[in-house]
Amino acid sequence: MAEIVIEPIGDAAAFLARWRMLFAHADQKTFFQSPSWLEAWLECARARARLFSIEAREGDKPVMMGVIGGGGRRPAIIGLEEARFFETGDPSLDAIYMEYVDFLSLPGADPSLRGAMIAEIASRFCGADTIVFRNLRPEMSAAVRGFAEGGPWASRTLLEQPVYAIDLAAIRERGGDFIESLESASLRNKVRRAIRGYEERGNLTCRIASNEDRLDAWRRLGELHEARWRGVGAFSNRLFLDFHEKLQRLAPDACELMEITCGDEAIGVLYNFSYEGRVMNYQSGFRAEDDNRLTPGFVCHALACQHYLEHGAGVYDLLAGEADYKRRFGAPAVTLTSIALERSSWRIAIRNALKGSGPRAAQEGVEHDDAP
């Protein structure tokens, strides 16, 4: 059995070197586990939270790795003591929303190792009232729930979110027309009518911002997003901005800002992560229209899908969360689950009573895109 070690992340460079080594050979890895994502996150988080690495090692070689944030009690005395998997407990930091969360692991790793790692986290953070695991892949959520069965920790489901995705490879095989591939005739007509409406105002174009235009596209995305959210959206969060500005410097080829313009006016900007043939729409901003026949979100995503389809992408991933455009454009691909492990305590009882949660799921989500 591998040796499992939890220790504070003191030397971030040394930790990242081990992470890169494992990532190079890892199984089912995602962009959210990439060294670029983790380096940008560590730079933002280390000054504001206590972070710990958890590693399963065979000799001096890591075979499975993760990160835990251990925060203090919030508020003091009566608040909950929390530990969080790939989070910190600081809402501003945790708005940097990671999805498809799991340990990073080598192919063929012992299936029981996840459970052993979770047990080690529970042992190391035994003074915590709750340990939060957010946006877990199915294999990871099953391991968390399995650990809780019959033990001192109870598992509570916080949120279950479907991921809707569009199979661009299949559409390419059927002729390569995204709008024509939509099953609903009314939806096809809705999108085509909106496109015609825009084209009456000017030429409709869709392009990925070049490195020279990236800052302007990022600024326009923020303006469009905040116009809807009126100062409380993601772009009003300085830590969110710091993280994504670092991420774009570290992974410029993976972080794409797609601008959709009508004439000289931007009607939408999409912030997408493109990784190994999978395009993930992480954030968006759309210009509000008085004419409800003009649906900028539907148009922007339709044009984006057509662009990526023609450029060889396999999947357009709308990421977690329910939304009308996600349901109508995509198909359910997987469910991401957020779970809290809880120890019986008077603090937990008070919290559940105040929230009215009891055994029911508490809804914990972060808005990270605009509705079309």
| Co-location of 54 and 192 in the same domain | no
Q: Who's near 57: CB < 8 A, 6+ residues apart?
A: 2, 3, 4, 5, 63
Tell me the residue range of the domain where 298 lies: 165-333
Closest CA to 364 of 47, 154, 124, 87: 87
Whether 181 and 203 share a structural domain: yes
pLDDT of residue 230: 77
Q: Could you tell me how far CA 191 lies from the centroid of its own chain? A: 27
Are 33 and 133 contained in the same domain? yes
Residues 81 and 170 in one domain: no
Q: What is the pLDDT along the chain (372 residues), one digit of tens a residue?
A: 789 999 999 999 999 999 999 999 998 999 999 999 999 999 999 888 999 999 999 988 999 999 999 866 666 555 678 899 999 989 999 999 999 999 999 998 888 999 999 999 999 998 888 999 999 999 999 999 999 997 889 999 999 999 999 999 999 999 999 999 999 999 999 999 999 999 999 999 999 999 999 999 999 999 999 988 877 788 999 999 999 999 999 999 999 999 999 999 999 999 999 999 999 999 999 999 999 899 999 999 999 999 999 999 999 999 999 999 999 999 999 999 999 999 866 566 666 666 654 433 333 444 455 555
Q: In 202-286, where does DSSP find H-type helix?
A: 214-229, 238-250
| CATH code assigned at 255 | 3.40.630.30
In a domain, 344, yes or no: no
- Residues 9 and 125 both lie in one domain: yes
- pTM to 2 decimals? 0.91
- How far is Cα 253 from Cα 185, in angstroms, rounded to an integer? 36
106 in the same domain as 201: no
Q: Residue 75: is the preceding peptide bond cis (ω within 30°)?
A: yes
Do 146 and 171 belong together in one domain?
Answer: no
Residues 324 and 233 in one domain: yes
10, 80: one domain: yes
pLDDT score at 37: 98
CA–CA gap between residue 9 and residue 254 (Å, rounded): 26
Are 121 and 170 contained in the same domain?
Answer: no
Domains in the chain, number: 2
Nearest CA-CA partner of 296 in 266, 322, 328, 318: 266
Which of 20, 26, 5, 149 is CA-nearest to residue 68?
A: 5
Give residue 143's pLDDT.
97
Shared domain for 222 and 320, answered yes or no, is yes
Q: What per-residue confidence (pLDDT) applies to 70?
A: 83
Does residue 369 fall inside a structural domain? Answer: no
Q: Which of 237, 233, 213, 212 is nearest to 224 (CA)?
A: 233
Given 88, 120, 151, the domain boundary residue is 151
Helix (H, G, I), strand (E, B) or coil at 147: helix
Question: Which of 139, 68, 61 has the alpha carbon at shortest distance from 102?
Answer: 139
Within-domain flag for 345:
no
Q: What is the DSSP letter of 27?
A: S
